Amino acid sequence: MVAGRRHDGRPLLHLEHPTHVRTERVPAHNLLWFHWGNAEAEVLYDDVTLAFGGKRDEAFRATLNRLENMNIPRGQDFLVALPGTREERTRGATRLTATEDAASRPKRHSARRTSSSLG
């Protein structure tokens, strides 16, 4: 068992287990990044990663406590980080303040009905 967290702090549990085979649907044909058709193939699995909503998540706490009570060996904790820095990820994006956003919108003139126009 290895406990970790996502970039935003939500917890993850990564569990390794004996390999088992599962029959799954897979693309029948693959060419570069194109996949088409339906086929079945045996897929090997030897690990699973469980994602949780937060440290207070009851399922997370119960699972972690149960694994610890069973004396499952624990590996080194990890962090799943987004690639690059925040500046690199937001390059080219512009952020407007509320006043800039309101100033950039076209003015809308609503046609108000008066009592004289109704009747």
HSE at residue 117, side-chain half, CA atoms within 13 A, is: 4
Rounded to whole angstroms, the Cα distance separating 27 from 9 reads 35
Residue 98 token pair: 């509320």
pTM: 0.59
pLDDT at 90: 82
Regions in the chain scoring below 70 on pLDDT = 93-119
Rounded distance, CA 4 to CA 76, Å? Answer: 9
Q: What is the CA radius of gyration of the chain?
A: 27
Order of all β-strands in the sheet with 78-80:
39-51, 11-26, 2-6, 78-80
